[in-house]
Amino acid sequence: MTRISPPEPTLAVAGVGKTFTMHLQGGKQIAVLRGLSFTVDPGECVVLGGTSGAGKSSILKMVYGNYAVDTGSVVITTGHPAYGGPVDIAAADPRRVLAARRDAMGYVSQFLRCVPRVPAIQIVAEPLTERGVGSEEALDRAAALLTRLAIPERLWSLPPATFSGGEQQRVNIARGFIPELPLLLLDEPTASLDAHNSDVVVELIAEKRARGVAMLGIFHDTAVRERVADRVIDVQAFAPVPAAMA
């Protein structure tokens, strides 16, 4: 009998602990997470749940390599030939983290941060041109996404600095969704969108899922969360036990 082995998880977080040290407050320590363990398989959208302050954003930042991981591992495994085997972001040197971002993981933050004076369409096309896609194809794909996200064509050649909050967020979403990467981190991508654009983001997530992309996200909007989540992880379950209760 042929055995089909299950796919390797794209993301495997194991035994992660995180404590912040407040250097400006006499080294005060805030323990946020202990023993955090979960996996995200290819084609799965896992949502981080739990009350405000539970550590959801900190988890995304640790996976992306913005925050250091105190204990445990954050292993990303992809079939990308250039990526070359699993990488533990918790232990990787900065160059390896940058390579993992280029080849393996995207991050859709809540706010657009971009170089001033660059037109919106170029901001969206850039993640493709940076990865070797020709500029004509990159601009075509950027135009298609901007159209889906209802950004009027008259805005495409303008820098987004003067755009409304919702328009900037949609440019940000287009930029985050345009590259084909095995892992996508989503920090409240629908936070200030109207119902139509929220629906478009839900569709974009479904398309990524169908192409085998693993996604880890935060969605406070419960209706959106129910539509996108394959599983919800209760981050509070990984709160450190107060010393008095230990």
Ligand X SMILES: Nc1ncnc2c1ncn2[C@@H]1O[C@H](COP(=O)(O)OP(=O)(O)OP(=O)(O)O)[C@@H](O)[C@H]1O
Query: Between 178 and 215, whose beta carbon lies closer to ligand X?
Result: 215
| Residue 221 lies near ligand X (rule: CB under 6 A) | no
Token pair for 90: 């918790």
Residue 161 CB neighbours (<10 A): 12
| Residue 52 lies near ligand X (rule: CB under 6 A) | yes
Q: Report how far apart, in Å, the C-alpha atoms of 76 and of each of 22, 37, 62, 182, 219 are.
A: 29, 14, 12, 9, 22
Token pair for 114: 């971009």
| Residue 237 lies near ligand X (rule: CB under 6 A) | no
Query: Between 30 and 161, whose beta carbon lies closer to ligand X?
Result: 30
| Residue 190 lies near ligand X (rule: CB under 6 A) | no
Amino acid at 79: G
Q: Which of 179, 205, 180, 178 is nearest to 190 (CA)?
A: 205
| Residue 13 lies near ligand X (rule: CB under 6 A) | no
Stretch that binds ligand X, among 45-53, 151-159, 207-215, 238-246 (CB under 6 A): 45-53
Answer whether 178's CB lies under 8 Å from 141's CB: yes
Q: Which of residues 57-86 bind ligand X (CB under 6 A)?
A: 57-58
172: Cα separation from own chain's centroid? 12
CB of 137 to ligand X, least distance (A): 36
| Residue 25 lies near ligand X (rule: CB under 6 A) | no
Stretch that binds ligand X, among 6-14, 52-60, 112-120, 149-157 (CB under 6 A): 52-60
| Residue 34 lies near ligand X (rule: CB under 6 A) | no
Q: How many residues bind ligand X (CB under 6 A)?
A: 11
Query: Between 127 and 217, whose beta carbon lies closer to ligand X?
Result: 217
CB of 3 to ligand X, least distance (A): 40
Answer whether 75's CB lies under 8 Å from 87's CB: yes
Task: State the angle between helix axes of 165-177 and 120-129 in degrees (0 to 180), rounded to the nearest 10.
Answer: 20
What is the Cα–Cα distance from 102 to 19, expressed in whole angstroms? 28
Answer whether 103's CB lies under 8 Å from 181's CB: yes
Stretch that binds ligand X, among 47-55, 152-160, 173-181, 205-213 (CB under 6 A): 47-55
Residues interacting with ligand X, by CB under 6 A?
A: 20, 30, 32, 50, 52-58
